[in-house]
Amino acid sequence: MGLWPTKRGGNLKRLAAFAVVAVSISLGFAGTASAEIASVFGDNPYLDDGAPGGIVCQVQGPGNDAGQRWCGTGRHNANNSTRSSVESFDGVPIDVNVAFPPAPESGPDGPWPLMMVFHGYGGGKLNFSSLQRWLDRGYAVFSMSNRGFHESCGTASSQGADPDCPSGGFVRLNDTRYEVRDAQEFAGMLVDQGVVDPEAIGASGGSYGGGMSMALAALNDRTMLPDGSLTAWESPVEGTPLGLAVALPNIPWTDLAYSLAPNGSNIDYIRDASYFGRFGVMKQSYVTGLYVSGSSAPGYYLPAGQNLSGNINGWFELLNNGEPYQGQAAAQTLIDEITVNHSSYYIDHSRSPAPLLISSGFTDDLFPANEATRFYNRTKSEYPNQEIGLFFGSFGHPRGQNKSAETSDLAELENEWADYYLGGIGSKPASEVTAYAQSCPSDAAPGTDATAPTWGAIAPGEVRFTSRRVRTVSPEGGSRTVAEAFDPISGDGACAAAPGEPESGVASYDLPAATGSGYTVMGSPTVIARIAQSGINSQIAARLVDVSPDGTIKTLVNRALWRPAATSDHQVFQLQPNGWKVEAGHHLRLELLPGDYSGTTLANFGRPSNDQQTAKVSDLEFRVPVLDSPGSAGGAVKTPAKKVLPDRPGVRLAPGFGQSGSVRVVGGPRLVGRGTVANGRLRITVTCRDSYRCDGRFRLVGAPDNGGKGRGLRFGVIDVGELAPGATRRASVRLSATANRFFTSRGTLRTAVVWRGRYTSFAVIGTR
């Protein structure tokens, strides 16, 4: 990523104030130049013995870094066991680096704006050369090795050097109560020392560091204590109130449990996409790779079951053992722990987060772009004026392409956000969405880019496909060779090519070939269908592929892992977001598979389910959001239809999607009752069997079981108002003349159904 703007204009002049100081000192630096910041953390209030501590700062000699103050030992790795540790709030030593720009020739040496920079999983604190991006812009920088990695208790030598390491210095997966609080405590110490501006603290980092940055943004001006309670974030000695000025999380998670074991409940047009429903499907190749890389970092994992907040060995074993997860106390404990204490989405959101620019990779299969849209949608629904931007492209974890043009534009935008919120430089950045479509081959220029004021406005058109046929997903269906080619760890990358013919044992749906100039997918395709599948252990894996005109090659566009509910009613789920140009002559194919795996642990995108059952798919509707306007591509692009809301409590459209309206999938039976017929009226007593409520007006239509006679008769409308779960209400419906004649001439109607729209299931009404 570049350090200086190249396209967005105006920033070079605005940044001159920072550059002049650095350049003037660089040109006339003398080794005896004044440097007031000689050390940091010298008055650490958490030292066990109360003795003075601190990390000495070294003034850099002539060269590009001239005059900078570097406080620390660089970055440790297996060949460098030196450390510069500071004890955190619970006595655990954390290895840190801190650096400051050159001291000004006149005036005070600080306080400086601070950018905290966090590392990826298994990594360690960044060395000083890796921190130059922010030093060159005039910011102080802080980086640490998170608990359990490298010299923050990850090595035998670091554990032997401090008795608090073995008991508290293990990897906790960015626990809000520990790793996140560590960063807050150290920033507060620097504020107490007077070298950091308490109103100009930022957070940045990728992957694991992105998760840290998200948590800090969600906390904003609060700290989470070990008991899970929240208190004001204050500096540890002076009690100076602190808050985060800006966060720049790159390829982060917001729900770590969902990232590693998705179940299909994350839909990009609903306000609340928290983990809901069955325990998900493990991303096996990714989770295995992360587990191994973390332990060999070096990293310190506790033995299984020793501490539930860092039970990595136990969680890894549970995930690999597989189904049945339902009913396992350990499985529910895993979900509860990871969501509540390790995921920014579940941090109390009764106050707004810090300003956020979240960047996610469309072809990142570990932390996909819907990790960002989840947080974005809820934040915008609760705080419509919140400063929050999104940036999407083909970068990040595998299969990310990381094209320099996209990453440079991202760095430029991040600089604008940092300069405004930390340095008070330039105009306020727009809270908008920028998205680049994927392009192939990998060395091709980036695909089409688009900018919109909201995520809901990024795709003005939609390509739709329907199929009423019943299709079968067999337990052993799908090609293992194709799965390996598309796997993010063992496969051939974002542009991997596979044989184009339909795979056996898979429910495949071929959309019409694109015409004219084609169209560009942009966002999350939606599947609405009836899925009949026995048991509770099975899964459905979904892929959207682009098939070449001659049908011989297919390329992966979107994918998903989904755990269907135990119902034969309509269900709705989405594939991960992406941008992709469907050229003329090419066509899209939706594939529903029994799993997305090759049979080898490190080549299984999704772990194959134990006791996978046959699935029958019917009444399918498939919707693909596109950048093109309605009427494009020979009329294939339509105006987006009403969004189909899943069957879950309190579900509502996210802001920006209201223009299309919504209809809700409702599992049944929701409403049951018994009634009598007399004097032209049907009098019934209904009970709500919904998991949270029954509401609204329902049309009663006939479906008698006496040979089918009377089927389709309309008996009137029942208005139940709003019924709580288990509540009962009496209702009276005036029958039509036809319905009344049916009752008087045919006798007692034994069953009927309540109907309420395209995606609503039938509820049973009986009469006597």
Full set of structural domains in the chain with CATH: 11-254+343-456 (3.40.50.1820), 461-639 (2.60.120.260), 671-767 (2.60.40)
- Predicted local confidence at residue 701, as pLDDT: 58
- Predicted local confidence at residue 667, as pLDDT: 60
- Predicted local confidence at residue 669, as pLDDT: 55
- DSSP reduced 3-state for 619: strand
pLDDT averaged over consecutive 10-residue blocks of the chain (768 residues)?
A: 29 33 31 66 76 82 95 67 91 97 92 98 95 97 97 94 94 98 98 97 98 98 98 98 98 98 98 96 97 95 92 97 94 96 98 98 98 98 98 97 96 98 97 98 93 97 96 98 97 97 98 97 96 93 98 98 86 97 98 97 97 95 98 96 90 92 71 72 74 62 46 63 79 75 56 46 43
What amino acid is encoded at 288 in this protein? Answer: T
Q: Decide: 143 and 96 in contact? Cβ < 8 Å.
A: yes
DSSP 716-743: EEEEEEEE-TT-EEEEEEEPPHHHHHHH
Q: Decide: 149 and 298 in contact? Cβ < 8 Å.
A: yes
- Predicted local confidence at residue 48, as pLDDT: 60
CA distance 274 to 267: 10
How many of the other CB atoms lie within 10 Å of CB of 2?
14
Nearest to 635 by CA among 516, 467, 457: 516
Which pTM value belongs to this model? 0.88
Helices marked H in 348-468: 370-382, 404-421
